[in-house]
Amino acid sequence: MKRPLVWAFVLSAAVFAGVLVWLLADRATSRGDALKTAGLAGGAVAALYGLWLNDRRRRVEEGRHEIERGRVSDERFAKAVELLGHEADQVRVGAMHALGGLARSRPDVYAQTVLDVLCAYLRRPFDDAEGADAERERQVRRTTQKVIRSLLPPATADAPAYSLDLSGAHLDRFDLSGKRVGLLGAQQTEVVNGAYFTNTWFAGSAFFTGANVQGPLEFVRTKFEAGTGFRDFTAHDEVRFEDVSFALPPDFGQASFPAGTELP
């Protein structure tokens, strides 16, 4: 910091002297006016240095603030992930919302990471049976799906395309309607109470290989921009393919649909 200050002082003095000599050489300029103008010129150099110094301090302070913000966010993320394993379902629900809030506050850093964590939770083994414990876990999983949906952007061309790895997951009334998704992995996924993809835009490949869906399944005005696989797929209830756009021919090899289903 001392060296820039010295150079600023030297430059200011040099400008003052140079302007003063130049003005004194002009007989039409009085000595007083020459000193005044030279002083203003030298002062301008000092003022510019002050502005530069303030800007430098501001940038340093912003850098410190960003580092602190990143540290706090990392701690929040680690704590929320840890709480996903908590025994109490309300604590797990709170952790889901905390992760969602973190992803929304810093989407460029955490959005995809949080989505990966939430998908991993849905891939945990789950015995979809009757009982109070199963119902509480079911509610946690529904919350997880809601948070995932809230983090996905609308189906527009300029929206980011986040990937979802739900292979082997257990889903309950899964709804991605009106959302833009990157790659979707849903191999061997179990779905109850239906799945809905109305106005969904898949920017990457979508794999439903070996998935099993109970309940309504809707692909209405759905857009697939890459490969789509339904091999060994099983649907037990009504399936709608209506005004669907495929960039590549879908693979329906050995898939099972209810009688009367019209495939695209």
DSSP per-residue codes, 70-110: HHHHHHHHHHHHHHTT-SSHHHHHHHHHHHHHHHHHSHHHH
Which residues of the chain fall short of a pLDDT of 70?
Answer: 1-53, 55-56, 60, 62-63, 65-70
* Per-residue pLDDT reduced to its tens digit, 126-167: 887 778 888 999 999 999 999 999 999 999 989 999 999 999
Sequence-ordered list of residues with C-beta below 8 angstroms from that of 101, at least 6 positions apart, any chain: none
Q: Give residue 74's pLDDT.
A: 83
CA proximity to 178, closest of 123, 239, 235, 223? 223
| C-alpha pair distances (Å), 39 with each of 25, 26, 49, 217 | 16, 17, 15, 80
CA angle 182, 123, 153 (to 5 degrees): 30
The C-alpha atoms of residue 103 and residue 193 are separated, in whole angstroms, by 28
Taking each helix axis as running N to C, give the angle between helix 31-83 and helix 2-24, from 0 to 180 degrees, rounded to the nearest 10. 160
Q: Give residue 20's pLDDT.
A: 45
pTM of this prediction?
0.76
Q: Give residue 44's pLDDT.
A: 61
Q: Give residue 101's pLDDT.
A: 94
Sequence-ordered list of residues with C-beta below 8 angstroms from that of 69, at least 6 positions apart, any chain: none
The C-alpha atoms of residue 40 and residue 34 are separated, in whole angstroms, by 10
The count of residues in the chain is 264
State the DSSP code for 153. Answer: P
CA proximity to 216, closest of 258, 157, 183, 260? 258
CA proximity to 94, closest of 113, 81, 107, 75? 81
Sequence-ordered list of residues with C-beta below 8 angstroms from that of 96, at least 6 positions apart, any chain: 84, 118, 121, 140, 143, 144, 147
CA proximity to 244, closest of 224, 222, 263? 222
SS3 115: helix
Q: Where are the domains of the chain?
A: 1-60, 73-151, 153-264
Q: Give residue 113's pLDDT.
A: 97
Q: Give residue 2's pLDDT.
A: 47
Sequence-ordered list of residues with C-beta below 8 angstroms from that of 221, at least 6 positions apart, any chain: 198, 199, 242, 243, 244
Q: Give residue 7's pLDDT.
A: 55
Other Cβ atoms less than 10 A from the Cβ of 90: the count is 11
Q: Give residue 72's pLDDT.
A: 75
* Per-residue pLDDT reduced to its tens digit, 176-208: 999 999 999 999 999 999 999 999 999 999 999
